Amino acid sequence: MSELNNIALKILNDGKGILAADESTGTMTKRLETVKVTSTKENRLLFRETLFSASSMTDCIGGVILYDETIKQETSKKNKIPELISKMGSAAGIKVDTGAKVLAGSPEEKITEGLDGLRERLKEYFKLGAKFTKWRGVYNISKDYPSKLSIQSNAHALARYSALVQECNMVPIVEPEVLMEGEHSAKECFLKTSEVIKKCFEELILHKVDLKGIILKPNMILAGNKSKDKISNEEVASLTLKCLKNSVPSEVPGIAFLSGGQSEIEATENLNLINKNNNTNFIMSYSYGRALQQSALQFWSKNIHDIEGTQKIFNHRAKMNSLAAKGKWSIEIENQ
């Protein structure tokens, strides 16, 4: 078994998942402003350190995706952030793309940038203690989108990124996110997501990426947020499983879903149903940002020095998602 495959399995095994704490400074500022906390370097670090030192990090979180600012910071006890994460039994990861920009030739769509100078940046992140990385491609859904150009361009970028990451002995998270903004039905989401994922794997194979040493981070199959055609959680689970079974090669060790606009409870409930019905060999887990942090952030904002209270709320959310990753969550356990 390869070292990269070991890392991927360690991150996702036993009901563990990924905490996506890789919000850029701009995004984190918006999050903090919504809860009326000033976005200083110190406050951003304080919130993250509070989560990274919570007890659930050891039992429920196998990996944490960091942002460039955070991976270089020191904790209040003068440990490097990757050291703190590793001490808690989790792996440090890093977002390495530089964001989605307008796609030339199709201005309504986006292409993710960041390949220039990536090889050098990866070496630096590896030295800082990163074991895995993340790159996100985004796709809109409408009658005309995602276009062939967007599907092809983003798949190519994801594959080039993955090849460079594995060359540097880290696990690439491949994140093709079909956005839930729009009026599309779940059926359209199913068709477009299937097309996007298949094209990603065509490119990954072409670029000689070792599929046993990656983690796929896809969206679940949902109707658009403005769609009149809502579907049940059971249908979300069944369509998501069908899509992945048909689109993902069996060598891939694990799939960590993004929460993409779902509430904390929805993201947990859907993951639980996916695992209850999981008839594949893939580990199906979570790589959540807001769906792991939102309640903790709201509580923390009332008194940013109440570390214990904030951790208690974060621990509950992490535990619920860990149960869902084993198909053992229920609303009764949630509300106990």
pLDDT tens, position by position, 4-44? 999 999 999 999 999 999 999 999 999 999 999 999 999 99
Using DSSP bridges, classify how beta strands 215-216 and 106-112 pair: parallel, antiparallel or unpaired: unpaired
Q: How confident is the model at residue 230 (pLDDT cuts 50, 70, 90)?
A: confident
For the chain, the structural domain boundaries read: 3-335
Q: Model confidence at 145, in pLDDT bands (50, 70, 90)? A: very high
Q: Is the pLDDT of residue 152 over 90?
A: yes
Q: How do residues 190-219 score in pLDDT, each as one tens digit?
A: 999 999 999 999 999 999 999 999 999 999
Average pLDDT over residues 172-198: 97
Question: 307 is written with which tokens?
Answer: 């570390």
Active site residues: 217
Q: Is the pLDDT of residue 299 over 70?
A: yes
pLDDT band at 245 (very low <50, low <70, confident <90, very high): very high
CA distances from 228 to 4, 182, 184, 261, 299 (A): 43, 10, 9, 17, 34
The pLDDT value given to residue 155:
98
CA nearest to 181, candidates 216, 145, 153: 145
Q: Measure Cα distances from 232 to 223, 264, 269 in Å.
A: 10, 16, 11
Average pLDDT, the chain: 97
pLDDT for 27-86, tens place per residue?
999 999 999 999 999 999 999 999 999 999 999 999 999 999 999 999 999 999 999 999
- Percent share of the chain, pLDDT over 90: 97
CATH topology for 3-335 is TIM Barrel (3.20.20)
Output the pLDDT for position 261: 87
What are residue 16's phi and psi, to 5 degrees?
-85, 155
pLDDT for residue 116 is more than 80:
yes
Res 169 pLDDT > 80: yes
**Quick check: 321 pLDDT over 90?**
yes
Q: How confident is the model at residue 160 (pLDDT cuts 50, 70, 90)?
A: very high
For 170, phi then psi, to 5°, come to -125, 160
pLDDT value at position 296? Answer: 98
Write down the H helix ranges in the chain. Answer: 3-12, 25-34, 41-52, 56-59, 68-71, 81-87, 118-128, 148-167, 186-206, 233-247, 264-276, 290-302, 307-324, 331-335
Q: Is the pLDDT of residue 320 over 90?
A: yes
Integer Cα distance of 274 and 328 in angstroms: 11
Three-state DSSP string of 148-207: HHHHHHHHHHHHHHHHHHHHCCCEEEEEEEECCCCCCCHHHHHHHHHHHHHHHHHHHHHC
Asked if the model's pLDDT at residue 284 lies above 90, the reply is: yes
